[in-house]
Structure 1
C-alpha cells in the first residue's frame, strides 16, 4: 500500500513491506473494464477535520492563533480483475490566521488513513502543508492531491465498499476535546 503526494513524497520505513505502487489511477482508466463495485468512501474524520490553536487559557476569539479545516474530500478509483484498488484523492483546505497567531507562516500536518470500513486502520501517513499568509490575508484556501493510493484486495471479489479513506489534522488531545465539544472558531465567521 502506498501514498504519493503531489507536493511531497512521504516514506514510512516501518511499513516498507506494505508500500508499493506501480501505476496511477489515470493510467488505469484507459482500460475499459468497469470496477466490480463502488470506490472506498473518502471523508474527513469528524474529530480531526478542523484545527484551532489557542494562546492563553480562555477559549475566546482574541486567543485564537492559526486554524485549519478540511472543507471537502474527493476521490476517484479504479480496480478490476485481481488488481489492487488505485485511488487518487483531492482535499480542499481552508486555513485561518486569528488575532493571536504568531508570524505569517504555519506548517500544518494532516493524515490520510486507509481503514477496513468501521474497523481497523490498515495504514496511515502524515503529510505537511506549509501555508503562508500575506500581510493583508487572514484566510488561505488550498487543494492538496494525494496520487496513487494502492489498496490490496484479498481476491478479485473484494469490493471497495470494504474500505474507507479518512483525512484529518494531526491534533493534540486538547484540540480533539475542543472539536468533540462542538465549539468552533472560524476566521471567516460573519464574513462573506
Structure 2
C-alpha cells in the first residue's frame, strides 16, 4: 500500500534559502543516520517541461506560461516494514505574453514504482502559481509524502519515484520536437 500527501508553498529566493537552511539544521539534530537506502527520485525528461498556449495559436505571443519541474531533498524514515518518504518537488513557472490572469495552473504527477519500472501508485497534484506584481518568473516548492509498505526484505533501493508534469498528447509532442 502506498499513500500520498502534499504541502505547497510559493517561495521567494530568500525564503527558499531560509527553508533549506532550516532543513539542514533540523537534519543535523537527527539522533541516528539511516543506513538503509532511499528510493531514487527521477524526473522523466519528456515530462520535465510544459509550454501552455492560449487557444490554437503556437506563436510566442500565444504562450500563457512555461513550466519546469525538479526534485529536491529526499528524506526517508524506516519503521519496521514501513518506509516514510518526504520528497521536495519544485515547479518553476515563467509567465508568457498571453497570460493576463497572472496565474499558472500546473498539474504534475508523482508515481512510485519498483526498480523493474512496474508502477504501484500514481497521483496527480494541481497547483496554482501566482505571478505577483511585475514578476514574470516564480518558483513553488511542494513537499510530497509517500508511505510505502515494504514486503519481505525490501528496502528503499527496490523502489523509484517518478515525477513529471501532466501533459496533453500535443504538449508531449511539442516537448519532443523542441527540447
Normalising by the residue count of structure 2, what TM-score does the alignment of the two structures yield?
Answer: 0.78
Q: Does 1:127 align with 2:125?
A: yes
Give the strand-richer structure, 1 or 2: 2
User: Could you give the per-residue CA deviations for residues 34-70 of structure 1, whole angstroms, max 9, x where no partner exists?
Assistant: 34x3210012111111111123656442222211111
Equivalent residue for 1:15? none
| 2:106 and 2:126 in contact (8 A); partners too | yes
Structure 1 residues 83 and 104: alpha-carbon distance in aligned structure 2, compared to 1, 3 A threshold: same
**CA distance, structure 1, for counterparts of residue 82 and residue 115 of structure 2:** 16
| 1:50 and 1:68 in contact (8 A); partners too | yes
| 2:95 and 2:137 in contact (8 A); partners too | yes
SS at match of 1:178: helix
Give the helix-richer structure, 1 or 2: 2
SS at match of 1:79: strand
Equivalent residue for 2:158? 162
**CA distance, structure 2, for counterparts of residue 33 and residue 68 of structure 1:** 35
**CA distance, structure 2, for counterparts of residue 84 and residue 120 of structure 1:** 19
**Cα-Cα RMSD:** 2.4
Alpha-carbon deviation of 1:121? Answer: 1.1
Unaligned ranges ≥5, structure 2: 10-25
User: Could you give the per-residue CA deviations for residues 64-90 of structure 1, whole angstroms, max 9, x where no partner exists?
Assistant: 22111113333111226x322211011
SS at match of 1:65: strand
Equivalent residue for 1:46? 45
Structure 1 residues 136 and 34: alpha-carbon distance in aligned structure 2, compared to 1, 3 A threshold: closer
Unaligned ranges ≥5, structure 1: 9-25, 185-192
- Residue of 145, 150, 154 corresponding to 1:153: 150
**Alignment: residue pair count:** 160
Equivalent residue for 1:4? 5
